[in-house]
Structure 1
Amino acid sequence: MERRWRLSGLTVHYEIWKDCLQDYKAGIVSARSDYFSKMINDSQRREEKQLRIIPLGKTGCGKSETGNTILNGKFFKAKCEPISVTKISASQTATVHGRSITYINTPGVFDTSLSDEELEKEIIISFIRCSPGPHAFLIILKVETYTAHEIEIVRKIRSLFGEGVLKYAVVLFTHGDNLDEDQTIEQFVSKNSELQQLVDKCGGPCHVIDNKYWNNKKKGYRSNKVQIKNLLSTISKMVEKNEGYRECYSNEMLQALGKYNEVRIQQLREELKGRSTEKIRAEAEEKTYRWAKSSQSHRGATEWLRAFLGSVYPCFGKHCSSVDQDYTPMLLKNE
């Protein structure tokens, strides 16, 4: 009788222990589920705070200085010279107003010191660096007379990137101190119908900064701090209008470039142990560019660039539908 009671007691204790173990395991599963859910949510929130920007404009319009002003630091070399200071694409990331901003600096659209092939290479590399694509383009113009040359600059941008580029673009004027006293940039734009038409077609209102005279002013219209905050607000609204931060100016070609570059970086990290991250990234970008170029060898120089940028077969984000089926498989297959 006493033995049965002891066995019964052991059974009771075993059942209690088993229930506790199940509760413990359930708690671990629940905790893991909560942990991974939190990781996903945190990742999504970080993604929503990230902003990738590519400036476009002629040589000397102030793209490098504008990058320094937006990121609030001395990241890009900027000099007052008749030739382009920026010969190769460069990117920098900084936190501005609680948001991670990546600014991918590019050579001038009409940089005569670069050959067409060199310019095309830097444009492609700039897109590799902001894979899967930029959230916004800044069409940078000076506060000055809007001449036939500026009109041709904008025409070339639209020709290379397609009409869809304006949906992702904001016009930003530099040299704001050239405005008349009490004149706003909107009033300046309204005096030229073609300039007004360009601004109206873009994804948001235009803005103005002065990289020389407005840096130390904290308040008022002629303050870079105020203007940059307004610019980023405009870009954020434009991004939301374009279906959110996970949607950007992209297509299957550009996404394939990004994936190929990621694979190359992983391979080179194994092959080139001890090399700096910057050198590995630069070599991966070079190999990715060569791979992209070889996959488009049947096209002319400008035509293949347009194919990648979407002006021949435009497709943005998840709305891709009309990609050239003849060369897409070639691009996506292994070397």
Structure 2
Amino acid sequence: MVLLGLTGSGRSSCGNTILGRSEFWTDVSPVSVTSRCQRSGGVVDGRSLRVIDTPGFFHTCLSPDDVRAELNRCVELSAPGPQVFLLVLRAGRVTRESLAALDWISAAFGPQALSYTVVLITCGDALGAKPAADFLKESEELWEFVCSCAGGFEERSQVTELLKKIDLLMERNAGAHYTADMLLQADTAVCHMQQRILGDDHEEDEEAKKGAERLFW
């Protein structure tokens, strides 16, 4: 299981909750805390789990290329590859960054990764009595993304239900893993896209090029 999400979304805290102990470093800080992939494991509800925490998208200290390299490393750490990407999404106002974070999975791992993805909603207390589904449906972009994820969504407070949902996803995928070959295909596709945008149009100004680079990384 690989934890993904916007920096500050609570990935490390969720990993600790799932494992039932403090394995990943958490802190209230104005800067990103996790800078390297970290792996831990244990037995939870009779299941043997390996959980990998990753640097957040839009990290405050790492460059986009460094974040991308660490995200690639999570596939190596989970060889033969992760069976679940757990995208941690903090409930609250939808921002430009939170919407851009949704694109990171497809941009970094390719659209095939969505077949292995479950969305985990954190800070459910911010929703009050509002069901998580209603919160997600208030944003067309969020709801469309969740619907594109094979594992759907779950709330952080319900670890047992989350693990059941993950079991169903793994059963649906016949126990398959997201593999290094899939990652290579995603990297190749991104490189081709960047070359088309940045490589051929010499009349495009520098600021526009930087904007295109930010779009992908």
Aligning the two structures, in what range does the TM-score lie when normalised by the shorter sequence? 0.7 to 0.9
Q: Note if contact 2:107-2:186 (Cα within 8 Å) is conserved in structure 1.
A: no
Per the alignment, residue 204 of structure 1 pairs with 151
1:218-257 equivalent positions in 2, closer than 5 A: 224=157, 227-244=158-175, 247-252=176-181
Q: Deviations over 1:219-245 (max 9, x none)?
A: xxxxx3xx111111111111111122x
Q: Note if contact 1:158-1:165 (Cα within 8 Å) is conserved in structure 2.
A: yes
Per the alignment, residue 127 of structure 1 pairs with 75
Query: 1:308 deviation in Å?
Result: 2.6
Matched, 1:187 2:142: no
**Sequence identity, in percent?**
33
Alignment partner of 1:157: what SS?
helix
Per the alignment, residue 274 of structure 1 pairs with none
Query: 1:118 deviation in Å?
Result: 2.7
Gapped regions of structure 2 (runs ≥ 5) = 190-217
Bigger CA radius of gyration? 1
- Work out the CA distance in 1 between the residues paired with 2:181 and 2:97: 33
Q: Are residues 194 and 156 of structure 1, via their aligned partners in 2, closer, same or farther at CA, if it must alter by over 3 Å?
A: same
Q: Note if contact 1:163-1:311 (Cα within 8 Å) is conserved in structure 2.
A: no
Q: Deviations over 1:194-238 (max 9, x none)?
A: 1111111111231112xxxxxxxxxxxxxx3xx111111111111
Q: Which residue, out of 49, 54, 76, partners 1:101?
A: 49
Per the alignment, residue 25 of structure 2 pairs with 77
Per the alignment, residue 186 of structure 2 pairs with 310
Q: Are residues 309 and 130 of structure 1, via their aligned partners in 2, closer, same or farther at CA, if it must alter by over 3 Å?
A: farther
The CA RMSD over aligned residues, in Å, is 1.7
Q: Note if contact 2:2-2:85 (Cα within 8 Å) is conserved in structure 1.
A: yes
Query: 1:90 deviation in Å?
Result: 0.5
Q: Note if contact 2:75-2:180 (Cα within 8 Å) is conserved in structure 1.
A: no
Amino acid at match of 1:106: T
Query: 1:252 deviation in Å?
Result: 3.5
1:256-295 equivalent positions in 2, closer than 5 A: none
Q: Are residues 120 and 191 of structure 1, via their aligned partners in 2, closer, same or farther at CA, if it must alter by over 3 Å?
A: closer
- Work out the CA distance in 1 between the residues paired with 2:8 and 2:153: 19
Report 1 or 2 for greater relative contact order, CA contacts < 8 Å, sequence distance ≥ 6.
2
Q: Deviations over 1:110-163 (max 9, x none)?
A: 103012343233223222110011000011111111222111111122111111
1:294-333 equivalent positions in 2, closer than 5 A: 308=184, 310=186, 312=188
Amino acid at match of 1:72: G
Q: Deviations over 1:148-207 (max 9, x none)?
A: 2111111122111111111110110111110123x2211221222211111111112311
Q: Note if contact 1:160-1:309 (Cα within 8 Å) is conserved in structure 2.
A: no
- Work out the CA distance in 2 between the residues paired with 1:206 and 1:156: 17
Q: Deviations over 1:278-306 (max 9, x none)?
A: xxxxxxxxxxxxxxxxxxxxxxxxxxxxx
Q: How many residue pairs end up in the alignment?
A: 189
- Work out the CA distance in 2 between the residues paired with 1:129 and 1:142: 26
Gapped regions of structure 1 (runs ≥ 5) = 1-52, 210-223, 254-306, 314-335
Per the alignment, residue 105 of structure 2 pairs with 157
Per the alignment, residue 31 of structure 1 pairs with none
Alignment partner of 2:87: what SS?
strand
- Work out the CA distance in 2 between the residues paired with 1:76 and 1:155: 25
Amino acid at match of 1:249: Y
Q: Note if contact 1:251-1:310 (Cα within 8 Å) is conserved in structure 2.
A: no
Q: Are residues 87 and 190 of structure 1, via their aligned partners in 2, closer, same or farther at CA, if it must alter by over 3 Å?
A: same
Alignment partner of 1:93: what SS?
strand
- Work out the CA distance in 2 between the residues paired with 1:163 and 1:138: 15
